[in-house]
Amino acid sequence: MSASVSHSAPEGADSGSSVFLVLAGPAGSGKTTLCDRIVREQPSFSRVVTATTRTPRPGEIDGVHYHFLTPEQFDAHIAAGDFLEWAVVHKHNRYGTLASSVIEPLRQGRNLIINVDIQGVDNFRKVALTTPLLAQRMTTIFIHVNLQELRQRMVSRGHDEDEEILRRLQTAERELQEGHRFDFRIESRSRDEDFQELLAVWKTVQARLREKRT
């Protein structure tokens, strides 16, 4: 399994101010949309594609949206020590991030973005305690949406059955209590407003990194 990030820095990239933006928030908060848009509109960004044992949804492509693995394949990567972090989500599916998909691109000047669950963010925080580069470049961002709005978004998407929506809302209720632990918090409104706030966070973090080097 290989991560879908470029290992060559874009023209003008500054390896000393490359950032790793870690987005989290409840299902339906728009994390994936934000990740896709910043990669599409900002050439210096790559999206870290995570691995999962869940079944692909209609239209999802292996290696683009996720690396879809069998439980046995996932176990093999755990045994080999390939994951920077991994976690069980919604009680039955596993998600994980390869170490090589994050550390080396940051060293080479790539800006990276990823959306993970709350457990994944906690795991990244633990890894950062012993990984100086990750500690310097990682910024955590929580996308906050109230439960009523989340339910409306999930129903509108038409991806999940009622039972799955209920399970995701129960998870969301717990996740919303963790927002205060993040470096930044975006109060979700419209897609454009959320994206502008994400860009503002990136510029703030990048400026702080440059200040530390002067």
DSSP 95-107: EEEEGGGTHHHHH
Q: What is the pLDDT of residues 86-100, one digit of tens each?
A: 888 767 899 999 888
* 173 within domain boundaries: yes
Domain residue limits at 139? 20-209
* 79 within domain boundaries: yes
* 69 within domain boundaries: yes
Q: What is the pTM of this model?
A: 0.80
* 10 within domain boundaries: no
89-93, 163-167, 186-190: range with lowest mean pLDDT: 89-93
Q: Give the full edge-to-edge strand order of the sheet including 184-187.
A: 45-47, 111-115, 20-24, 138-144, 184-187
Q: What is the pLDDT of residues 46-83, one digit of tens each?
A: 999 889 999 999 999 998 888 999 999 999 999 999 99
* 5 within domain boundaries: no
DSSP letter for 181, please: G
Q: Residue 84 contacts by C-beta under 8 Å, 6 or more apart in sequence?
A: 96, 97, 98, 99, 101, 102, 103, 123, 124, 127
Percent of the chain with pLDDT over 70: 92
DSSP letter for 211, please: H
Task: Give the total number of structural domains in the chain.
Answer: 1
- Average pLDDT of every residue of the chain: 87
* 4 within domain boundaries: no
Token couple for 76: 């093999």
CATH at 113: 3.40.50.300
Radius of gyration of the chain (CA): 17
* 214 within domain boundaries: no
Question: Within a 13 Å sphere around the CA of 34, how many CA atoms are in the beta-carbon half?
Answer: 33
E-assigned strands of the chain?
A: 20-24, 45-47, 51-52, 67-68, 83-89, 93-98, 111-115, 138-144, 184-187
* 3 within domain boundaries: no
- The C-alpha angle with vertex 41 and arms to 39 and 43, in degrees rounded to 5, equals 65
Q: Are 107 and 116 in contact (CB under 8 A)?
A: no
